[in-house]
């Protein structure tokens, strides 16, 4: 049993798990899970009814269904449709305590988790902190090309996308208008492909009647992928199918091309070519949460902790690392894919290892069961690799939608998302087209992104008849 070694006079805040008495903490093993993503949630759920006390620590108060985050970024869903408060999820699991705090350090010698305002002792620790987007040594690009990992990212991208159309509507210079209506997605993995398809759909269908001076259907959506093909984790035939489906909805796909610079004006690619674009979305790489680097064990170049076959770390059988934080190569020789099924299986396995250890046994080796992969391109368009069969098109899209509905947390979220999708399918309506974060009484449209050139000072003369009439847009 871990002992609290926080001595009087230290600078560390707190000295125990909040909400539990010292006697209660001494009575049962203390399990701390850091991270409320897919892996962390699964690990905590499996402790239900067990004689342990579980503390779940996260700097956000909600679990986020990340596979649908791109739909928040493209105005298809609202954040509450794909998120659920952690306290609500575990309100009936009496051996679980939820703590909203950011972890600063892990004292592996004293078995303590040190947060910004607490010190939480543990007997067993499960690290499930996830990952953040990586700019491959160019962090300055983030201000011009945000990634997509949380709700703040999604709302920011949604605002940039919608604001770009507003800028194009007011632009008097053709080059400026074209740049505003060019959307570049850096990275051709599932997130990049899904983002590209969704932006194309909202431009070609949802907003065609909303503007008077621009044809939104003429918006240019470009995917830039450094690998030889998009969706590199899928079979080559499915990658080619995805490319064809993207091109059929007007998306330009560039493979085997690397981005060399990102500015407020656009994207520069290898060879010196510059693509003017006001909206750039980064979907090209991930780096594990930096907390793994504080454990004193080897990590890979992406910051993932190199774990043992049983998910524990070298020399510390009481600590397990799962999900995007873990570099598990024992099964295939390569790290497992950073997908939710892998994190969920790891979470369940971590709980089994803790319970097995408490019963006097030893941690068991982990084995990942790959149930297949899916990626959507847009309406009626997707690719699916279910291991025993591979296919694309409408059936793949139905499979993708059904599986995502099934894995959403909570009946309310499942019902609302399904209802929204059905309504959107028949109406092409996306009701979350809200530009938020405006400043100065709503004049933020006049404030360009950092380093970008302002709109032309030439005034626009409003005419009774639109430059682009309704008939022309059809």
Strand residue runs (E) in 35-170: 53-58, 62-64, 83-85, 96-100, 103-107, 112-115, 119-121, 124-127, 131-133
Q: Cα separation of 299 and 301, whole Å?
A: 7
* Positive/negative CA dihedral, 60, 66, 68, 72: positive
Q: Cα separation of 446 and 435, whole Å?
A: 13
Helix (H, G, I), strand (E, B) or coil at 177: helix
Give the DSSP letter string of 205-274.
IITTTT-SS--GGG-EEEEEESSSSSSTTS-HHHHHHHHHHHHHTTEEEEES--EEEEETTEEEETTS-E
Tokens of 386: 């279910």
Mode of pairing for the β-strands spanning 53-58 and 96-100: parallel
Tokens of 202: 């909202």
Tokens of 290: 């930096």
Contact between residue 280 and residue 422 where contact means Cβ atoms under 8 Å apart: no
Q: Which of 42, 97, 176, 194 is catalytic?
A: 194
Q: At 22, which helix (H) or strand (E)?
A: helix 22-27
Q: Per-residue b/e over 344-378, b at no fewer than 16 CB within 10 Å?
A: bbbbbbbbbbbbebbeeeebeebebebeebbbbbb
140 is catalytic: no
Helix (H, G, I), strand (E, B) or coil at 103: strand
Contact between residue 80 and residue 160 where contact means Cβ atoms under 8 Å apart: no
385: Cβ–Cβ under 8 A, 6 or more apart, which residues?
A: 234, 235, 238, 372, 373, 374
Integer distance in angstroms from the first to the last C-alpha of the chain? 70
* Positive/negative CA dihedral, 422, 427, 428, 430: negative
The residues that bridge with 275 in the sheet, in sequence order, are 267
**Long-range CB pairs of 134-142, under 8 A, 24+ apart, other chains included:** 134/284, 134/285, 134/286, 134/287, 134/302, 135/282, 135/285, 136/284, 136/285, 138/262, 141/261, 141/262, 141/282, 142/282
Q: Cα separation of 436 and 60, whole Å?
A: 20
Catalytic residues: 194
């Amino acid at each position: 049993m871990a002992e609290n070694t926080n001595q009087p006079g230290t600078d560390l805040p707190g000295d125990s798990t909040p909400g539990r008495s010292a006697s209660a903490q001494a009575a049962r093993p203390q399990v701390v899970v850091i991270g409320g993503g897919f892996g962390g949630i699964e690990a905590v759920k499996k402790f239900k009814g067990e004689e342990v006390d579980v503390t779940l620590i996260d700097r956000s108060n909600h679990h986020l269904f990340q596979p649908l985050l791109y739909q928040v970024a493209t105005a298809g869903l609202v954040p509450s449709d794909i998120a659920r408060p952690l306290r609500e999820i575990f309100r009936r699991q009496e051996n679980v305590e939820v703590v909203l705090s950011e972890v600063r350090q892990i004292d592996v010698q004293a078995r303590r988790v040190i947060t910004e305002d607490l010190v939480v002792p543990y007997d067993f620790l499960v690290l499930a902190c996830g990952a953040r987007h990586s700019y491959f040594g160019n962090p300055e690009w983030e201000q011009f090309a945000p990634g997509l990992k949380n709700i703040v990212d999604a709302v920011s991208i949604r605002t940039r996308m919608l604001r770009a159309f507003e800028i194009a509507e007011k632009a008097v210079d053709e080059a400026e208008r074209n740049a505003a209506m060019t959307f570049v997605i850096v990275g051709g993995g599932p997130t990049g492909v899904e983002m590209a398809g969704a932006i194309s759909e909202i431009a070609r269908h949802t907003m065609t009647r909303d503007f008077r001076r621009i044809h939104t259907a003429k918006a240019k959506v470009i995917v830039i992928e450094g690998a030889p093909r998009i969706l590199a984790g899928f079979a080559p035939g499915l990658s080619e199918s995805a490319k064809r489906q993207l091109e059929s909805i007007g998306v330009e796909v560039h493979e085997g091309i690397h981005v060399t610079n990102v500015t407020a004006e656009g994207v520069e690619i290898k060879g010196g070519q510059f693509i003017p674009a006001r909206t750039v979305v980064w979907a090209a790489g991930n780096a594990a949460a930096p907390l793994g680097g504080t454990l004193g064990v080897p990590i890979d170049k992406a910051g993932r902790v190199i774990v043992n076959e049983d998910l524990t770390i070298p020399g510390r059988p009481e600590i397990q690392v799962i999900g995007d934080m873990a570099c598990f190569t024992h099964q295939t020789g390569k790290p497992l894919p950073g997908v939710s099924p892998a994190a969920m299986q790891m979470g369940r396995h971590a709980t089994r290892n803790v319970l097995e250890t408490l019963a006097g046994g030893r941690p068991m080796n982990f084995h990942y069961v790959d149930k297949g992969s899916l990626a959507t391109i847009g309406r009626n368009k997707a690719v699916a690799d279910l291991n025993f069969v591979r296919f694309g098109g409408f059936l793949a899209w139905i499979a993708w939608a059904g599986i995502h509905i099934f894995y959403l947390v909570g009946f309310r979220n499942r019902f609302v998302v399904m209802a929204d999708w059905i309504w959107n399918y028949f109406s092409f309506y996306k009701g979350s087209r809200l530009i938020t974060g405006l400043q100065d009484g709503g004049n933020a449209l006049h404030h360009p992104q950092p380093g970008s050139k302002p709109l032309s000072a030439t005034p626009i003369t409003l005419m009774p008849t639109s430059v682009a009439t309704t008939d022309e847009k059809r």
